[in-house]
């Protein structure tokens, strides 16, 4: 068995990735015919390398959805696989909302959503699952609120369910049941967005759907189809990752109580703390990319269609770039992160994700008692290949 698929890797991924970074930085995983990339310079280069793509259709095992299905249409026109001119147009449509200034306009909505869930935790006693009650529901609710989904509990709950089902359609290999689930979710979400777009075209509001429908600087407004793609893309890229980021951030803070105390005392450190939390313990397997052509990397022959996993944990613990990289320090210089990519596919939601995580952690520090304890041995993990995700994060709030 490859070491990256072993129990030891799941328990201490940073140790195994450090070994690979030193001895085998372009590591071939024979059982899945894929590569793990662990050095900072290589990860950074591959984010903008024309030899690789984040378009799943380049994967040699990719099976397209049935012709004429919504899933097929979305897979061919989303942010990742659209032709360059189409991709750039969608980025331009969204970019005005995702600048630091545009994101600040959303801050009130984000704080309102976070408070909606934080309020339920104030004064709690006993064990609370912070994933189920806080980290998981907030990102989807934020996306629904800022895009314009009505702020009704039933609507937002249904939106969160749809979002998870839409995300399931990201996999390059889906079984028949998975295809049906993702297809039905996309159809329902598309119908919902179409109806809201018709309403906003008559009565615009302070939300993203209204922004996309409006004309900016003489440019054409977005079509309903583009709005569907944009919102689906935001759901796919900005919900699971933010949820996982916040979950792992809480674990890291509990494992480093001195840093957690420092952050409790000085919240002005929060923006830098968020970046350090992402550097320190996020994305051991990293993001998949797919070889568009055969090419060579550090003497290894990468074949067309093979996946390459760009390890954030490997890159961000690289001692060639980060001094004393295994030390968690919320005051560290974090300017060299690759977490949001680079080049033309740099994550357009980077500002939103960092602001949202900061607000979530700020609220969490307010509601978590100082003597609360993470029950780490009771965390339930979902594991698939090299990937793992904490499905629960049980914290004892005390009496």
Cβ distance 40 to 25 under 8 Å? no
pLDDT number for residue 217: 47
Q: Give pLDDT, residue 160.
A: 72
Q: 382 phi and psi, to 5 degrees? A: -100, 125
Nearest CA among 189, 145, 148, 149 for reference residue 165: 189
On whether the CB atoms of residues 80 and 55 are closer than 8 A, the answer is: yes
Q: pTM of the full predicted structure? A: 0.88
Q: What is the torsional sign of CA 237, 321, 14, 384?
A: positive
User: What number of H helices and E strands is found in the chain?
Assistant: 17, 12
- Centre a 10 Å sphere on the Cβ of residue 159 and count the other Cβ atoms it contains: 22
Six token digits for residue 153: 């509990």
pLDDT (0 to 100) of residue 344:
66
Nearest to 21 by CA among 312, 307, 384: 312
- Check: CB of residue 337 under 8 Å from CB of residue 65: no
pLDDT given for residue 325 in this prediction? 96
CA angle 126, 130, 135 (to 5 degrees): 160
Please tell me the predicted confidence (pLDDT) of residue 299. 96
* pLDDT of the residue at 83: 66
- For the chain, 399 residues long, give each residue's pLDDT as a single digit of tens: 788 888 889 888 999 999 999 999 999 999 999 999 999 999 999 998 999 998 888 999 888 888 888 778 777 777 666 666 766 777 777 776 777 777 777 899 899 999 999 999 999 999 999 999 999 999 988 888 888 876 566 777 777 777 777 776 666 556 778 778 888 888 888 888 888 888 888 888 878 888 888 755 445 667 888 888 787 777 766 678 899 999 999 999 999 999 999 999 999 999 999 999 999 999 888 888 999 999 999 999 999 999 999 999 999 999 999 999 999 999 999 988 998 887 766 777 788 889 999 999 999 999 999 999 999 999 999 887 788 889 999 999 997
pLDDT of residue 354: 92
300 and 285 Cβ atoms separated by less than 8 Å: no
Q: Which DSSP string corresponds to 36-105? A: EE--HHHHHHHHT-TTEES-GGGSTT--PPPTT-HHHHHHHHSTTTS-HHHHHHHHHHHHHHHSHHHHHH
Architecture of domain 3-396: Orthogonal Bundle (1.10)
Do the beta carbons of residue 194 and residue 228 sit within 8 Å?
A: yes
- Using the 8-state DSSP alphabet, how is residue 127 labeled? E
């Amino acid at each position: 068995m490859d070491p990256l698929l072993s129990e030891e890797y799941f328990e201490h991924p940073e140790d195994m990735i450090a070994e690979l970074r030193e001895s085998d930085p372009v590591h071939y995983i024979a059982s899945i015919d894929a590569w793990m990339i662990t050095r900072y310079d290589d990860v950074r280069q591959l984010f903008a390398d024309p030899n690789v793509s984040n378009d799943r259709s380049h994967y040699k095992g990719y099976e397209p959805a049935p012709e004429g299905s919504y899933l097929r249409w979305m897979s061919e026109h989303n942010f990742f696989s659209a032709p360059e001119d189409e991709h750039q147009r969608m980025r331009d449509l969204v970019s005005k909302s995702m600048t630091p200034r545009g994101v600040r306009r959303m801050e009130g909505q984000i704080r309102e959503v976070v408070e909606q869930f934080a309020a339920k935790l104030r004064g709690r006693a006993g064990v609370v699952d912070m994933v189920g009650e806080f980290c998981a529901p907030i990102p989807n609710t934020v996306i629904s609120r800022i895009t314009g989904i009505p702020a009704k509990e039933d609507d937002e709950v249904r939106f969160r369910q749809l979002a998870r089902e839409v995300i399931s359609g990201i996999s390059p290999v889906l079984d028949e049941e998975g295809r049906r689930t993702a297809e039905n979710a996309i159809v329902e979400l598309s119908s919902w967005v179409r109806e809201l777009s018709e309403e906003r075209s008559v009565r615009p509001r302070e939300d993203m759907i209204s922004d996309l429908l409006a004309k900016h600087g003489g440019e054409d407004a977005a079509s309903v189809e583009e709005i569907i793609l944009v919102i689906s893309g935001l759901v796919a890229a900005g919900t699971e990752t933010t949820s996982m980021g916040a979950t792992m951030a809480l674990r890291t803070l509990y494992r480093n109580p001195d840093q957690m105390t420092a952050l409790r005392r000085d919240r002005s450190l929060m923006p830098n703390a968020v970046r350090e939390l992402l550097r320190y313990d996020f994305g051991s397997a990293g993001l998949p990319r797919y070889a568009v052509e055969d090419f060579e990397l550090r003497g290894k022959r990468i074949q067309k269609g093979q996946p390459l996993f760009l390890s954030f944990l490997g890159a961000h613990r690289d001692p060639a770039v980060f001094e004393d990289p295994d030390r968690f320090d919320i005051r560290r210089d974090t300017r060299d992160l690759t977490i949001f990519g680079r080049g033309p596919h740099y994550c357009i939601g980077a500002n939103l994700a960092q602001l949202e995580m900061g607000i979530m952690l700020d609220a969490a520090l307010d509601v978590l008692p100082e003597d609360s304890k993470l029950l780490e041995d009771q965390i339930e993990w979902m594991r698939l290949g090299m990937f793992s995700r904490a499905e629960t994060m049980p914290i004892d709030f005390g009496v």
